[in-house]
Structure 1
């Protein structure tokens, strides 16, 4: 299903996006050396409940996961890149942490992810990988707009990631959002321009470039959910929800720096 919002629905989508951005930035500020992933999950739950919103993850049970996810945020550390299930792990200096969050507020979903290094360590390779996903995300957003095609976005993202030297996995990528978290169209992180669905005003897309340092192959952790690099290398993931407008694309999950 591809869902197209009416113009009058966009403020609700913006409110959901603002909440997701606020929670992610709050969790980033709290994710210090010694912080437990289960505490991040509990803090996220509290903010979702306080806002009168609903988690998209707790009861989420797709075919690729083992049973309901059962948590409120994805916490992927180092070699984990997607669907990181919070567990009893204490963050260490230099850990590369990716936080991925989808929340429904007022009947509409927003989805976003950030990656960052915990503590004072500044491993150059990890920072470069995070930067590449952020630049790829910006390129994908710049390629989006009414009349553009999904392939234009995929090509823009893949060009940045490929030029940075990272292998690209196409099993998991961006997707449509709306009244539910995962909708069509699928937005691969690699593609050919001029192909695929033509974008229309009112379409919401979650774009999410992610990479693994030296492989495109994923393995599933014993928890049945967390996807990790097959080689044990580090990974990074950046994501925004955007709305296609008459003029271009508006980012709904930008943090408020005021």
Structure 2
């Protein structure tokens, strides 16, 4: 598998420059070609910070500065940039370092090659933050939310992509309604479903996809998007995705890959505005 080039920096926190004490508190990764940016900062409750945040005031200061750091990056990824530089800028990490809140500092960015950036990112956290602390305070976004965020950042959601569309796949069963995560149309309607983050819902989700494949095999295309990073049983997931991928009208796409980026570009370039296929949705 082809390895893509990424740049990463380690984020440290220096609450007292006189004592010259700092801790590694996060990692940020960037790929200019795919406009990919991912970062993680431990939160103020993380046990690792106890050695430098020795009182309530210091804890609150870190909490506020971390929130500001996250806010700036989130707005930039959403194309509502507070940094005034595009995500494909080759020196984006250096620019972010110049804009981060007081007491945060980023190392000079370094090159890393990866064919699985999720695993690589997790490995960087283990190396520079310590595996004892990286699960302390991490909040994982659902795959659906991550895809929604990407669609919003590319101005696709509500423009060429409709979200949370209710359909009745079996017309004789009017009370059997499913909600489709995302729908778009080019020559055909495409139903986009994301893998559930909570794998206790996996069996129900699988049954739903099998029915969609059966009822729409000659009319609609189905795309399934997943993210290995949020799955606690990747082998089970892999087996289910392999099975679903046997259908001619189904494509499996892994989040945060070149394939996923091409998928988004395809929607942007080749798909119809929502108002041109809303009548089709009403008939579903």
TM-score by length of 2: 0.29
Q: Which has the higher contact order (CA 8 A, sep 6+)?
A: 1
Tell me which protein shows more helix as a share of its residues. 2
- Structure whose alpha-carbon radius of gyration is higher: 2
